[in-house]
């Protein structure tokens, strides 16, 4: 089946009723806050801040410094060392030990970025020229950089209307004899439908790689994110839940892939077995100063992840039932760690467009923005021009792929990016602040209701 095949007609944004949502949401948190949630119908009309009314969000909630004593302790220890190389480095060892407590995989390798982690996973999966890898088009380009560097072909599938994660049915439709892997991006820290994706991967003998870059501390049906796919990749870039400025980790419990991670992160050199260069890769190593920082940061992760989960779920609870607004959809047994919160508006439900809705929300004191990435990845100029390598794409020139990104279609993705509104969530926020954000959304939605 062709990878350019469009999905069936775009699915409408589904308005989820308060009752339906409660049946499918993180129940404990929601139940705790249910009584406090105002009913949309009972709310009095309030003057928009945009038109001179009082702001719904009274006070900003700055994040502040994200580091202190645990990081200082590790950095001081690092400064006592004579060497700062990762191999047999005590900071790297401690960092990976702490990582494996959070994400219990047998093999873990630190590296220089999430992009590097993903490239290492793609290398370990044995992906090469002309192979196809199915993934999401709403993601950081780092998800597919490694795929392209292996001269393989990213195939973009459509996403769930409310989860913004891979739609397993569309993934299966796009499988061809050339498909070798699926990269499941847990967008915003919301776990993908891993059971369905793993079943598809097993059925078609594909490698399932989890892109957990935005999902530190997330849980799928109670299990730590990153432990269901064959390999998992995390980013430690500055905006992530925990960070060392730039960095990454790749992990696996699979005996086919796990033992390969070290060498593919280290120029192809196997530091356990030695024996010269049996494999080829680039230098993706992370040094001891960064590992020290991450070892410190990992002690904070559970508090960060649980707080974000609580705040995001509270926002969902508070805006569920608002006509024309579709909250971020999370499976009731999963823990979404809200790298950000993404809700959708139904254009026909409002007398204003999304830009005006966002402007009004911003005036209420909500630092929101329209959409996420500007366009799906395959509509970026470098994809449209197939110009990945000095303006050329060797695998296409050699006839190893017929991929034409100018014809690639993902209708729900287009709709998500046109109707989504992004609201920051972070651990420095309070429940009162989130209640204010919810009030702002309700107020603006009510004001512009068609």
Ligand X SMILES: Cc1ncc(COP(=O)(O)O)c(C=O)c1O
Determine the length of the chain.
450
Residue closer to ligand X by CB (options 137, 324) is: 137
Confirm or reject binding of residue 139 to ligand X (CB under 6 A).
yes
Sole window of 36-44, 196-204, 207-215, 275-283 interacting with ligand X (rule: CB under 6 A): 207-215
In this structure, what token pair is assigned to residue 48? Answer: 């928009």
Q: How far is the CB of 248 from ligand X (least distance, A)?
A: 5
For the bound state, the minimum distance from the C-beta of residue 213 to ligand X, rounded and expressed in Å, comes to 3
* Three-state DSSP state, 108: strand
Residues 179-198, one symbol each (x = binds ligand X by CB under 6 A, - = not), give ------x-------------
Q: Is 143 in the site for ligand X (CB under 6 A)?
A: yes
State the nearest-atom distance from the C-beta of 164 to ligand X, in Å.
11
Judge whether 182 and 134 are in contact, CB under 8 Å: yes
Using the minimum distance from each CB to ligand X, give the nearer residue, 249 or 295: 249
Question: C-beta of 183: minimal distance to ligand X in Å?
Answer: 9
Q: Which window, 6-14, 79-87, 209-217, 307-315, contacts ligand X (CB under 6 A)?
A: 209-217
| Cα–Cα distance measured from residue 242 to residue 250, given in angstroms and rounded to the nearest whole number | 15
Residue nearest to ligand X (CB): 114
142 lies in the binding site for ligand X (CB under 6 A) = yes
Locate 196 and state its tokens.
Answer: 């369905």
290 lies in the binding site for ligand X (CB under 6 A): no
Q: Are strands 207-211 and 179-185 parallel, antiparallel or unpaired?
A: parallel
CB 139 within 8 A of CB 185: yes
Per the CB < 8 A criterion, the answer to whether 286 and 86 are in contact is yes
Site membership for ligand X, residue 140 (CB under 6 A): yes
Helices (H) and strands (E) in the chain, counts: 16, 13
Strand 248-252 versus strand 107-111 pairing type: antiparallel
Rule CB under 6 A: say whether 214 interacts with ligand X.
Answer: yes
Q: Which stretch binds ligand X (CB under 6 A): 108-116, 190-198, 218-226, 269-277?
A: 108-116
CA distance 297 to 227: 21
Structure token pair of residue 343: 């809700």
Best CA proximity match to 128, nearest among 254, 1, 279, 285: 279
Q: Interface residues for ligand X in 232-261 (CB under 6 A)?
A: 235, 237, 248
Applying CB under 6 A, which part among 21-29, 93-101, 110-118, 351-359 lies near ligand X? 110-118
113 is an interface residue for ligand X by CB under 6 A: yes
In whole angstroms, give the CA distance from residue 120 to residue 146.
Answer: 8
Tell me which residues touch ligand X (CB under 6 A): 113-115, 139-140, 142-143, 185, 211, 213-214, 235, 237, 248
């Amino acid at each position: 089946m062709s990878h350019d095949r469009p999905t069936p007609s775009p699915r409408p944004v589904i308005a989820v009723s308060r009752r339906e949502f409660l049946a499918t949401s993180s129940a404990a948190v929601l139940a705790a806050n249910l009584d406090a949630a105002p009913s949309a119908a009972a709310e009095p009309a309030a003057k928009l801040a945009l038109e001179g009314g009082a702001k719904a969000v009274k006070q900003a909630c700055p994040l502040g410094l994200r580091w202190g004593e645990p990081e200082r302790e590790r950095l001081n220890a690092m400064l006592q060392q004579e060497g700062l190389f990762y191999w047999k480095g005590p900071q790297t060892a401690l960092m990976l030990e702490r990582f494996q407590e959070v994400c219990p995989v047998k093999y873990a390798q630190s590296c220089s970025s999430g992009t590097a982690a993903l490239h290492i996973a793609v290398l370990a999966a044995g992906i090469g020229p002309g192979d196809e890898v199915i993934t999401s088009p709403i993601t950081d380009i780092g998800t597919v950089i490694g795929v392209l560097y292996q001269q393989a072909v990213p195939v973009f599938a459509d996403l769930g209307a409310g989860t913004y994660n891979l739609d397993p049915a569309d993934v299966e439709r796009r499988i061809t004899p050339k498909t070798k892997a699926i990269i499941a991006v847990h967008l915003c820290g919301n776990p993908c439908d891993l059971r369905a994706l793993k079943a598809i991967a097993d059925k078609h003998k594909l490698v399932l790689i989890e892109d957990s870059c935005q999902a530190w501390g997330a849980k799928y049906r109670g299990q730590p994110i990153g432990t269901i796919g064959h390999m998992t990749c995390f980013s430690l870039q500055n905006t992530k839940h925990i960070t060392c400025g730039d960095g990454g980790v790749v992990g696996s419990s699979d005996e086919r892939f796990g033992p390969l991670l070290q060498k593919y992160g280290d120029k192809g050199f196997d530091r356990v077995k030695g024996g010269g260069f049996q494999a080829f890769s680039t230098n993706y190593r992370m040094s001891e100063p960064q590992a020290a920082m991450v070892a410190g940061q990992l002690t904070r992760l559970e508090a960060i992840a649980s707080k974000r989960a609580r705040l995001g779920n509270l926002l969902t609870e508070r805006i569920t039932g608002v006509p024309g607004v579709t909250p971020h959809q999370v499976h009731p047994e999963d823990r979404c760690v809200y790298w950000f919160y993404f809700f959708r508006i139904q254009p026909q439900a409002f007398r204003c467009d999304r830009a005006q809705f966002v402007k009004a929300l911003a005036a209420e004191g909500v630092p929101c923005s329209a959409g996420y990435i500007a366009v799906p990845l395959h509509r970026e100029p470098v994809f449209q021009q197939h110009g990945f390598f000095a303006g050329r794409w060797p695998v296409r020139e050699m006839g190893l792929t017929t991929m034409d990104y100018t014809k690639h279609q993902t209708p729900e993705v287009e709709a998500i990016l046109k109707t989504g509104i992004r609201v920051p969530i972070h651990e420095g926020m309070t429940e009162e602040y989130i209640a204010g954000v919810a009030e702002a959304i309700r107020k603006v939605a009510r004001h512009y209701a068609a």
